[in-house]
Chains A and B, each alone.
Chain A
Amino acid sequence: MHLDPFELHRPTTVDETVRLAGALAGRFDFLAGGTDLLPNYKMHLNLKPHLVALEDVDELRGFSADRLGAMARLADLERDPAFAATWPSVADAVGEVATPLVRASGTVGGNLLLETRCFFFNQSYFWRASLGFCLKADGDRCHVVPQKEVCYATHSGDLAPALMVVDAEVEVAGPAGRRRLPLADLYDAKGDGVRRLTLAPGELLVAVHLPRAARGRRGRYKKLRVRPAYDFPELGVAVAGRWTGDRVEELRIAVGGAEPRPRRFDTLTDALVGRTLDDARLRELAEAIGKSVRPVHNTFLLPDYRRRMVAVYVRRAVAEAREGTAG
Chain B
Amino acid sequence: MSAEARVKFLLNGHPQEVPCEDARILLDLLRDDLHLTGTKRGCDLGTCGCCTVLVDGRPTLSCLTLARLTEGRSVTTIEGLTPPQGLSAVQRAFVDLGATQCGFCTPGFVVTATALLEENPRPTRAEIERAISGNLCRCTGYIKIVDAIAAASRSSG
| A contact residues vs B (CB 8 Å cutoff) | 1-8, 31, 33-35, 38-39, 42, 51, 53, 55, 75, 98-102, 104-105, 229-230
- Residues of chain A with a CB closer than 8 A to B65's CB: 34, 105
Q: List 22 A-B contacts (CB under 8 A).
A: A3-B24, A3-B25, A5-B21, A5-B22, A7-B22, A8-B69, A35-B46, A35-B64, A38-B25, A42-B45, A51-B22, A53-B69, A100-B112, A100-B131, A100-B133, A101-B46, A101-B59, A101-B61, A101-B135, A102-B46, A230-B133, A230-B134
> Would you give the 0/1 interface string for B97-137, flagging 1 where the beta carbon is closer than 8 Å to chain A?
00000000000000010000000000000000011011100
Residues from chain B with a CB closer than 8 A to the CB of A51 are 22, 66
B136: min CB distance to chain A, Å:
9
Q: Is the CB of B46 within 8 A of A8?
A: no
Size range of the chain B interface in the assembly:
20 to 34
In the assembled complex, B144 has its CB within 8 A of some CB on chain A: no
Q: Give the chain B neighbours of A1 by CB distance below 8 A.
A: 44
- Chain A residues in 8 Å Cβ range of B60: 101, 104-105
Hey, which chain A residues are within 8 Å of B68, CB to CB?
Answer: 8
Chain B interface residues (CB < 8 Å from chain A): 1, 21-25, 28, 44-47, 49, 52, 58-61, 64-66, 68-69, 112, 130-131, 133-135
Q: How far does the Cβ of A68 sit from chain B's closest Cβ, in whole Å?
A: 19
How distant is the Cα of A53 from the Cα of B65 in the complex, in angstroms? Answer: 11
Chain A residue with Cβ nearest B112: A101
Q: How far is the CB of B47 from chain A (nearest CB, A)?
A: 7
Q: Is the CB of B131 within 8 A of A104?
A: no
Measured between alpha carbons, how far is A104 from B49 in the docked complex, in Å? 12
**Min C-beta distance of B56 to chain A, whole Å:** 11
